Amino acid sequence: MFLDILRIELFKVFKRPRTFIAFGAIALIILLVQFALKVNGKDFIQLYTDSQADTFDIPYDKILNGYFVCVAVLHMILIHVPLLIALIAGDMISGEANLGTLRLLAGRPVTRTQLILAKFGASTVYVILLLAWMSLFALLGSILLFGKEDLVVFKENDLHIIKNSDVLWRFFAAFIFAALALTAIAAMALMFSTFADNSLGPIVATVCVVIVFTIVQQLKVPVFEETVNPWSFTTHMLGWKGFFYVEKTAEGATINGSVENAGALVRSGLVLAGYIILFLLISIVYFRKKDILS
């Protein structure tokens, strides 16, 4: 029965035109970034390598390859994707309440827990498909446009050079990690959605929470660094970057297949999974007791 409800939820999600806004927006943004880097890529890299240009002889043409462009795209757009996720997940329950269909759903022989889980499942599938779409455009598109070379990643005043043959798995890992992070956002939006009878509130609330925690994280003041940031999901959402920071030998050569801080990646993953479970539990407990008056 649960699979039937999940199928129904997916059918509803992908029958709504608004679902495809996100796919269109992502394709457009990626194409714009790729176009900009194709035209002014060297200037863009110079901006990042200004401090290192005196120390190294920087091979701009080699750095500007498909992998580099893909990382740049991810840096630019992943922070904004929560808004697109909130548009769908924040509408899951509240949108039904607003339409008046929630009472039809909840009056059928399905449990409210099944409904929440099916809606969460549908949101997760949406997140995964959105990221798959993003990876298709960002990775495949960039490789087609810019070719493949070793990937150079800038981290503060350091450079991480990853061999061409060691890159692809990192992208897949990063996309999976991003899926986990965005699923946490979807779970939060769904939770807000159970509290409301109109779509706007949960969507705005989700975006506000992301903005507030992002600002707190960027303040970099000890009081937040020690108390809030270690547990803030916005901190851990950016964990995907960790797959592009590699371990180095004493001589400074990068070690193939390594990540600089695997422990931090695991911890971030666990914190995000914890948030997903917490948000889901709150949603289920609240929704089971909710009087449906809409």
Partner 1 sequence: MSDILKVRNLTKDFKELRAVDDLSFSVKEGEVYGFLGQNGAGKSTTIRMLLTLIAPTDGYIEIFGMPLHQKRKEILRQVGAIIEKPDLYRYLTGFENIRLFSRLSGVKTTDNQIREELARVGLADRAESKVRTYSQGMKQRLGLACALVHNPKLIILDEPTNGLDPQGIADMRRMIIHLSKDLGKTLLVSSHLLSEMEMVADSMLIINKGRKVVEGKVQELINPVNSIVELKTSDTAVATSFLENSSWKTCLLPSVNGTIRLDLKKTDIPEFNRQLVAHGVAVQSLRPVHSLEEFFLSQTRE
Number of residues that bind partner 1 (CB under 8 A): 26
For partner 1, which is the closer residue by CB, 106 or 238? Answer: 106
Report d(CA 169, CA 113) in Å as an integer: 36
Site for partner 1 in 86-125 (CB under 8 A): 99-101, 103-111
For partner 1, which is the closer residue by CB, 7 or 163? Answer: 7
- 89-118 burial, b at 16+ Cβ within 10 Å, e below that, comes to bbbbbbbbbbeeebeebbeeebebebbbbb
Dump strand ranges (E) for 134-173.
Answer: 151-155, 158-162
For partner 1, which is the closer residue by CB, 5 or 178? Answer: 5
The CA-CA-CA angle for residues 28, 161, 151, to 5°, reads: 25
Report d(CA 76, CA 44) in Å as an integer: 13
Distance of closest approach, residue 202 Cβ to partner 1, in angstroms: 19
Distance of closest approach, residue 99 Cβ to partner 1, in angstroms: 6
289 near partner 1 (CB under 8 A)? yes
Distance of closest approach, residue 188 Cβ to partner 1, in angstroms: 25
Tally of CA atoms within 13 A in the half-sphere of 31 that contains its CB: 7
Distance of closest approach, residue 280 Cβ to partner 1, in angstroms: 21
Please, what sign has the CA dihedral across residues 69, 74, 80, 81? positive
Site for partner 1 in 12-31 (CB under 8 A): 12, 15-17
The CA-CA-CA angle for residues 38, 43, 45, to 5°, reads: 85
Distance of closest approach, residue 100 Cβ to partner 1, in angstroms: 3
4 near partner 1 (CB under 8 A)? yes
Supply φ then ψ for residue 87, to 5 degrees: -60, -35
For partner 1, which is the closer residue by CB, 104 or 204? Answer: 104
For partner 1, which is the closer residue by CB, 62 or 103? Answer: 103
Binding site for partner 1 (CB under 8 A): 1, 4-5, 7-8, 11-12, 15-17, 99-101, 103-111, 289, 291-293
